[in-house]
C-alpha cells in the first residue's frame, strides 16, 4: 500500500494550522490537530524550516533548549504527553539554553498566566 502524499494545498493548510498552534498548549507534539477531515492523518509538530541545525525535524523528544516569547505566561515543557512527568519551566520573555530535565526528551508544553 502506497503512503498518501498531501497535495500542495493540503500542505499549505497544515502549515497554517501548525502556525496557529505556536504559543498554545500542546498535549502531544507527536499528534498535531488537523484542520479538516479531507487532510491526511495528523502529523507530528516540526521545527520551522530554514532556521538552523534542527530545521524541519520533528519537535517531540528533540528539543535541547527553549525560548518563551510571551509576556505574562510561563511555559512548562513536560517529559511525557498529556503534561506528565518531569518538567522544565521557562519564564516569560526568557529562555533556557539547556532544558535540564527534558533535554531531547520532551513531549508536551503548557502555558500558564503569571498574572
More confident residue, 80 or 52: 80
In a shared domain, residues 42 and 74: no
Most confidently modeled of 21-25, 26-30, 36-40, 102-106?
102-106
Q: SS3 for 11?
A: helix
Please indicate, yes or no, whether residues 70 and 115 belong to a single structural domain of this protein. yes
Same domain (yes/no): 3, 41? yes
Same domain, 42 and 71: no
Domain that holds residue 89: 66-115
Shared-domain flag, residues 77 and 40: no
Query: Residue 28 domain-assigned?
Result: yes
pLDDT category of residue 18 using cuts at 50, 70 and 90: low
Query: Is residue 6 assigned to a domain?
Result: yes
Report pTM.
0.70
Binning pLDDT at 50, 70 and 90, where does residue 50 land? confident
Please check whether residues 73 and 106 belong to one and the same domain.
Answer: yes
More confident site: 44 or 7:
44
Does the pLDDT at position 1 exceed 50?
no
Note whether 73 and 115 are same-domain residues. Answer: yes
Q: How many domains does the chain have?
A: 2
3-state secondary structure of 16: helix
Amino acid at each position: 500500500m502506497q503512503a498518501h502524499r498531501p497535495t500542495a494545498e493540503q500542505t499549505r493548510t497544515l502549515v497554517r494550522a501548525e502556525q496557529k498552534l505556536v504559543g498554545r498548549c500542546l498535549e502531544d507534539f507527536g499528534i498535531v490537530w488537523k484542520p479538516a477531515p479531507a487532510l491526511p492523518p495528523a502529523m507530528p509538530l516540526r521545527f520551522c524550516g530554514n532556521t538552523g541545525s534542527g530545521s524541519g525535524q520533528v519537535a517531540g523528544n528533540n528539543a535541547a533548549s527553549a525560548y518563551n516569547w510571551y509576556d505574562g505566561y510561563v511555559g512548562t515543557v513536560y517529559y511525557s504527553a498529556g503534561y506528565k512527568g518531569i518538567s522544565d519551566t521557562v519564564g516569560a520573555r526568557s529562555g533556557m539554553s539547556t532544558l535540564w530535565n527534558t533535554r531531547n526528551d520532551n513531549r508536551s508544553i503548557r502555558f500558564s498566566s503569571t498574572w
